[in-house]
Amino acid sequence: MAVSLAGRTAVVTGAGRGLGRAEALELAALGAHVVVNDYGQPGRDGSGPASGTPAETVVAEIRAAGGQATAHTGDVADFAQARDLIRLAVGIGGGTLDILVNNAGILRDRMVFSMTEDEWDAVVRVHLKGHFNTTRFAAAHWRERSKAEGRAVYGRIVNTSSEAFLAGSAGQPNYAAAKGGIVGLTTSTAGALRKYGVTVNAICPRARTRMTEDVFTDVPEEGAPDALDPGHVAPLVGYLASPAAAGVNGQVFVVHGGMVAVMQRPLVAARFDARGVAELEAALTPYFAGRPLGETFAAPEVLGLKAAQAPLPAEESAGDGA
């Protein structure tokens, strides 16, 4: 059965470029009216036409392809502007919002012993607070609708975490912490909104974007397939936003290059009955001595996940992210 989002209204944050752009294009291609959010003014970084913001450029691209889209240039990390974004989408949807994709983010990479307070605050503000702000207003909308209608409603949230959280990226303490917080926000919100008909999931994408250009430097030759094209991530977002994913809730996925991995929740590795320092020493010291050197709660093996086959060239993938 073909996946369709016809008649649905969706918000994608940070959608002026990269992953967000690819996700917005995907949702629009599936039939949704997409509110394309990206913070900024015309030409503020010298990219794109001077007459329009990145959000407006993506809106024009969607409309040129026959889709429906509206631009929003507010800052989702600002509580009031996030509220206005959700209100805009609800108005466009004739009183309903169906899909929220939280993607907006920035990087300020540095080792923890060198990081400034501003570098910490900026990343946590945009990623974690930005996710909370939009989620808070979308959740309130769905709860009110459900109570008014006396039944479950349609709601989908797709959050953006990262392998940096799963693997414990040493040079990104702010980013890894924010992305770990997003997973906590995801699972908590999934439980809170389940009874209203809303699902909440998180993806950990690997993609070549402006934000990661200094991380993924192995650019393929022109015309060669690129496993890190953002368009390979967008179909999972389209699926999670669709009616077909009604039974998928509170999950975390790693996705890139045509590969999707479902992450397992943490399991109890060992249990000890011990009281006092001496008993703890007798139990824990030999236990950790028998574990591999350097093994921690982090799961760096996720970084070794690869697609089973070469991905489609960028122009054949569902979303053509930059």
Q: For residue 153, give Cα distances in angstroms to 65, 134, 137.
A: 30, 18, 15
User: Which residue among the candidates 129, 161, 169, 179 is catalytic per the annotation?
Assistant: 179
Q: How far is CA 29 from the centre of its chain?
A: 19
Examine the residue annotation and report whether 242 is marked as an active-site residue of this protein.
Answer: no
User: Which residue among the candidates 39, 161, 169, 175 is catalytic per the annotation?
Assistant: 175
The token duo for 321 is 């992210």
Rounded to the nearest 10 degrees, what angle do helices 130-149 and 173-193 cross at? 0
**C-alpha to C-alpha distance for 134 and 77, rounded to whole angstroms:** 9
Examine the residue annotation and report whether 114 is marked as an active-site residue of this protein.
Answer: no
Examine the residue annotation and report whether 39 is marked as an active-site residue of this protein.
Answer: no
Q: Which H helix or E strand runs over 228? A: none
Partners of 99 in the β-ladder:
10, 156
User: Which residue among the candidates 162, 169, 242, 317 is catalytic per the annotation?
Assistant: 162
Residues 6+ apart with CB under 8 A from 53: 16, 38, 40, 41, 42, 71, 73
**Whose CA is closest to 133, among 61, 256, 39, 248?**
39
| DSSP 8-state secondary structure symbol assigned to residue 151 | S
Catalytic positions: 162, 175, 179
